[in-house]
Amino acid sequence: MPRSVLIRIDRMFDLKPEFLQSVSNLEALEHRLAEDLSLLEIPPKEWVPASEYEGARILDVVIIGAGMCGLVAAAALKMLGIHNIVCVDRAPKGLEGPWVTFARMETLRSPKQLTGPALGLPALTFRAWYVAQFGTNAWEQLGKIPKNQWMDYLIWYRKVFALPVRNLVSVMNIEPVHDDLLALNVIDSGSGKAETLYARHVVLATGRDGLGGSYVPEFVESVPRKFWAHSADDIDFDALREKRVAVVGAGASAMDNAATALEAGAAKVDMIIRRKDLPRINKFTGIASQGVVQGFAGLSDEWKWKFLEHTLGAQTPPPRDSTLRVSRHPNSRFLLGTAVRGMHEEPESVVLKTSCGDLEYDFVIFATGFRVDLDRRPELVKFAPFIRFWKDVFTPEPGMENGELASSPYLGADFEFLERVPGSCPSLRLVHCFNYQATLSHGKLSGDIPAVSDGGRRLARGIARSLFVADRETHFANLVAFETPELLGDEWTDAAAAIADLQRGAAE
């Protein structure tokens, strides 16, 4: 909003000077960003030749998902001059991803100074955005980033980069038109209209559950939903007031859901934890470095597996703040060493069958994570039988088996799916898996905040290379046709007489 308009609103509503100052500081930051981009000649001009299919303009890239990874992918593509793109998300604007929906922590786990999605631009960092509005003192006093504020930052990021996002658009399926073209059937829940988008590349920035969905043990599914939820569900916590609640699991989401139930007035909350002790060390964070970010993809399959098997085996501890947020309530219990073996319904409650006996509750929250299950992703149904997974090509040493790793897609250098049987589905290479499931192939570049810009750049460079190679004939024809002279021919005088003199001299 222009400052002049704000000043008039200020008179009408008695707005505080600090508010006006923060708005103008943010405007100044946006100005600085625009200037930095202009100095760096970003974004460069468009270079991908336009093409059509049956009268419709073909998009160079469709990104599915406008969460953090989708936005970074879109920005990284724009920074390489690939402008004919669209990013679609089924969520309403501002509600993409987990941050203000099912993320129930108070703050991010990540340290505040991480540059995350900023793509190397200082003015695009969370820190610059925060300091512009709240000042340096507030930044120094800030502990961790409140999760809602992270969402506000992502909304700003999208705005200042003018990213082409369409909200309320769900991708229902993707299918090959031919080896170099994909069709996406989408539904716009705003207008209710179905539409087909044609794309040369598709990026799946579909999040933690992008290749499957939330996981609960099979025995849970036959129990009526009024008695249980997964931690990523929309849960009515007010309804848990004065209820007996169990939370199965001990990760970050388990703690945050338990804390939210306790804060909503649950009579008691039991944490049902299979392990005899909580993991205490966050392994991968311990070796975070540019070496890991840039080098992981260069490891052999054996070493990639070894690194991640060790990390997953050790498990990620819940954040200390989230754990204290639960344990400070006297009506919370940590039932360590308690494995859940079954669940059945009673007239007014449910009973969890555990290794420590039967436990009765009014409601159970399963914070049991996500898993790959392509049957649950209709958008991938046409490609599912052809995708190569790690279990198709890699056998770990005895004792190092891991189901989660085995079901990771075995990706190529640009996050693209590879065929299980070479030649069976050539268009599969046009679909790039830019979500958490890429971790075993690429390292943590497409799910968490720290290295998401590195992931976005790797993805965008790969797509740029692939587009250029595919259009080589057009680019070559442009090269041949290019006839703008740099020299006009009047820059020198004909030296024929001087050369003749030189030759005569040499002959004598």
Tell me the C-alpha distance between 358 and 384, whole Å.
Answer: 40
In the bound state with ligand FAD, the residue whose beta carbon lies nearer, of 102 and 352, is 102
Q: How buried is residue 269: exposed, middle or buried, by Cβ count under 10 Å (0-12/13-18/19+)?
A: buried
Residues with Cβ within 8 Å of 30's Cβ and at least 6 positions away in sequence, in order, are 160
Tell me the C-alpha distance between 145 and 449, whole Å.
Answer: 12
Q: Is 454 in the site for ligand FAD (CB under 6 A)?
A: no
Q: Which of residues 181-210 bind ligand FAD (CB under 6 A)?
A: 205-208
- Closest listed residue to residue 271, CA positions, set 343, 340, 217: 340
Which of 253, 311, 332, 407 is the binder for ligand FAD (CB under 6 A)? 253
Q: Smallest distance from the beta carbon of 47 to ligand FAD, in angstroms?
A: 27
Q: Is 117 in the site for ligand FAD (CB under 6 A)?
A: no
Which of 86, 103, 411, 460 is the binder for ligand FAD (CB under 6 A)? 103
* Amino acid at the residue 228: W
| String of contacts with ligand FAD for each residue 135-174, x by CB under 6 A | -----------------------------------xx---
Q: Smallest distance from the beta carbon of 78 to ligand FAD, in angstroms?
A: 17
Helix (H) or strand (E) holding 326: helix 320-327
Residue 388: strand, helix, or coil: coil
| String of contacts with ligand FAD for each residue 206-225, x by CB under 6 A | xxx-----------------
Q: Is 443 in the site for ligand FAD (CB under 6 A)?
A: no
In the bound state with ligand FAD, the residue whose beta carbon lies nearer, of 103 and 340, is 103
- Closest listed residue to residue 49, CA positions, set 414, 474, 503: 474
- Shortest-Cβ-distance residue relative to ligand FAD: 67
Which of 133, 435, 437, 453 is the binder for ligand FAD (CB under 6 A)? 435
Characterize 103-122 residue by residue with b for buried, 16 or more Cβ atoms within 10 angstroms of its Cβ, and e for exposed.
bbbbbbbbeeebbbbbbebe
| String of contacts with ligand FAD for each residue 306-345, x by CB under 6 A | ----------------------------------------
Q: Smallest distance from the beta carbon of 177 to ligand FAD, in angstroms?
A: 19
Q: Smallest distance from the beta carbon of 252 to ligand FAD, in angstroms?
A: 6
- Closest listed residue to residue 387, CA positions, set 410, 371, 406: 410
Q: Smallest distance from the beta carbon of 262 to ligand FAD, in angstroms?
A: 17
Q: Is 414 in the site for ligand FAD (CB under 6 A)?
A: no
Strand positions, DSSP E, 59-106: 59-64, 85-89
In the bound state with ligand FAD, the residue whose beta carbon lies nearer, of 270 and 448, is 448
How many Cα atoms occupy the beta-carbon half-sphere of 298 within 13 Å? Answer: 5
Q: Is 91 in the site for ligand FAD (CB under 6 A)?
A: yes
Taking CB under 6 A as the binding criterion, the range among 55-63, 90-98, 299-307, 330-338 that sits at the site for ligand FAD is: 90-98
* Amino acid at the residue 202: V
Q: What are phi and psi of 428, to 5 degrees?
A: -60, -30
Q: Is 68 in the site for ligand FAD (CB under 6 A)?
A: yes
Tell me the C-alpha distance between 19 and 13, whole Å.
Answer: 12
Tell me the C-alpha distance between 48 and 382, whole Å.
Answer: 28
- Closest listed residue to residue 407, CA positions, set 210, 237, 158: 210
By CB under 6 A, name the binding residues for ligand FAD.
64-65, 67-70, 88-91, 96-98, 103, 108-110, 170-171, 205-208, 253, 379, 435, 447-449
